[in-house]
Amino acid sequence: MTREEKPISDAIDTRTPSVARMYDWLLDGVDNYAADRKACEDLLRIAPSSKVLARNNRAFLRRVVRVLAQEYGIRQFLDHGSGLPTQDNVHQVAQRVDRSCRIVYLDTDPIVLAHGRSRLDQNDRVAVLRADMRETEAIFDTPEVRRLIRKDECTAALFVSVVHCLKDEDVLPMLAAVKARLKPGSFFVICQLVSDRADIRNRVTDLMDRATGGKWGRVRTADEVRAYFDALGLDIIDPGLCDVTDWRPDSELMPRPKADDWVEWGGVGRVPIR
């Protein structure tokens, strides 16, 4: 079953693939259009394990939010590039730990805003904003962020599977601007698509850049992702930076299918308290 092939708003371009809607399709969602599905089919021809990768990434998001809420007492989350709602969204995971947890979802895709507000905005501790994640000053000055993300509390800034959507020159300035707004002791969750194979990196980057009309950065290497943590001076928490499938798995006994042509790679870093 898929969405009816007509736009829900004049602001939604159904003919140009959207990263959020492609991700929805890879997760077997229904909030996608023919252009998104065609782009995903092209992607699977280059990297056949992309559906496995998407599922692994979503499971990582659930685990990392639970760990930060349970073990580190984080009660406010800023989810950059949140994508379309699916099962066990950030606020549901966090608020199972503590009902007082506050979450702001950010995304540029108008369909995310339309569906997010109907499915995610379920209580007064959750907000969904249409915003460019590079515009940190504007984001932190919105009424929703001023209400929900308190300056005197530590925050988890989530950048899960979104940094590869940005050009090289935008990544570190954005991350540094967010860090400057957060209290020491806050957390960054950063992971993105990486591959050891130059052909995969180049072919996927070319495909996505064309498909999205230039709304794409590039597939990078693990060393490039590590450099983000180093540049921000973050203290990386256990188990370090890795394929997110291996980041604190729920069970060491259960098999964990892995993508073999590219992976989602990264981890969690803490802003030092000094």
Higher pLDDT, 172 or 18: 172
**Residue 130 host element (H or E):** strand 126-130
Q: What is the pTM of this model?
A: 0.91
Residue 254 has pLDDT above 80, yes or no: no
Region 88-104 average pLDDT: 94
pLDDT band at 100; cut points 50, 70, 90: very high
User: What is the residue type of 194?
Assistant: V
Residue 14 has pLDDT above 90, yes or no: no
Interatomic CA distance for residues 69 and 37, integer angstroms: 35
Region 231-248 average pLDDT: 97
Contact partners, residue 204, CB within 8 Å, separation at least 6 = 43, 46, 47, 193, 195, 219, 262
Burial level of 208, CB count in 10 A (0-12/13-18/19+)? buried
pLDDT of residue 260: 79
pLDDT of residue 224: 98
pLDDT of residue 263: 93
pLDDT band at 8; cut points 50, 70, 90: very low
Q: Which residues on adjacent β-strands are paired with residue 95?
A: none
pLDDT of residue 51: 92
pLDDT in tens, 134-172: 999 999 999 999 999 999 999 999 999 999 999 999 999
pLDDT of residue 255: 60
Residue 111 has pLDDT above 80, yes or no: no
Contact partners, residue 59, CB within 8 Å, separation at least 6 = 245
pLDDT band at 118; cut points 50, 70, 90: low
